[in-house]
Structure 1
Amino acid sequence: MDARACFGFLLPLVLWISLLVEKGLAIRCFMCNSNLHGSDCSDLMSLDEERRNMYNQECDFLEGNRSYTRCRKMVQEYEEETRIIRQCATQGDDGCIQRTGTYKVKFLYCQCSEPLCNSSGRSQPFLIVAVFSVLLCVFIPSLKDYLFGF
């Protein structure tokens, strides 16, 4: 299989399968509120895995007939107090929006569509699959030529 055929067949197939698998499963998000859960919710990645998993929830268990497709992290600042809320979301675009209100109120809303993406760090599994697919398409023909002399 030459590189052109690989790009024409393998890459779209891998990308399509990765999208299908991700969208076919209920999304998992971290769910907590620093007002209720204290410092645990402020920095989930500093917690040990067992404790962090306490906040790892599948979004399809929530009440209502909604389709949860995103995770959300909100940071609310009022004077000296900062509150962090992590939850499941039903709509909105990926990315962050910052809002400033009156009386020293600030809000930061971040939404993402990858599982557990509302932690402190960001994960990009879709990007990793895409890069790996491109590398396969580039190096497999060269490797075949090197090993078999074709």
Structure 2
Amino acid sequence: MLWIMVFFLFFSGGMSLQCYVCNSLHVGEDCISTDKLMASDEFRVNCTELPDGERYTYCRKMVHQIPHEGEVETRVVRQCGYINTTMNICQKTGMHKDGGQLLCSCDTDNCNGSSQLHSEKTVFSLLTLAAVVYLI
């Protein structure tokens, strides 16, 4: 039973990864709004079809708070990535009253479309580990 769980943990989902790819600077609210983004297939991309696509193993979402003319503008960039810099969680960097950045990465199809990112593989890994520890 444990071997079946480990197999699905590492080999589920096939070899391709789909992520949302957009930049709110160019497409506006459609990239920022989770509801608008998920209601359309416009920004869903098979990462393996991009140049060097075999390298992409994660989806990424970056939320930038940028000071501009006395206001703080929010820009969102969603893309395919090949380095999981945040280990399937979100990290705030340089956040202060005048701006900053939130960087998230995840490894399941279209996971960078939600406002909160989770990795099914991460949750499954923790459950598997808990089961193994319990059985030992």
TM-score of the two chains, using structure 2 as the length reference: 0.72
Match of 1:136 in 2: none
Shift of 1:124: 4.7
Amino acid corresponding to residue 84 of structure 1 in structure 2? V
Q: Give ranges in structure 1 of 5+ residues lacking alignment.
A: 1-9, 132-150
Identity of aligned residues (%): 26
Native 8 Å contact 2:88 2:119 kept in 1: no
Q: 1:97 to 1:82 in 2, by over 3 A?
A: same
Query: How far apart are 1:103 and its partner, in Å?
Result: 9.7
Change (3 A) 1:125 1:103: closer
Check the 8 A contact 1:15/1:130 in 2, yes or no: no
Aligned partner (choices 20, 31, 40) of residue 11 of structure 2? 20
- The question of whether the paired residues in 2 share the 8 Å contact of 1:94 and 1:110 is answered with yes
Give the root-mean-square deviation of aligned CA atoms: 3.1
Q: CA deviation at 1:116?
A: 1.0
In the superposition, relative to structure 1, how do residues 95 and 129 fare at CA in structure 2: closer, same or farther (>3 Å)? closer
The corresponding residue for 1:81 is: 73
Give the letter for the 1:100 counterpart: G
Equivalence for 2:132:
none
Equivalent in 102, 105, 116 of residue 111 of structure 1: 105
Contact map agreement 2:94 2:100 (CA 8 A) in 1:
yes
Higher helix proportion (structure 1 or 2) = 1
TM-score by length of 1: 0.66
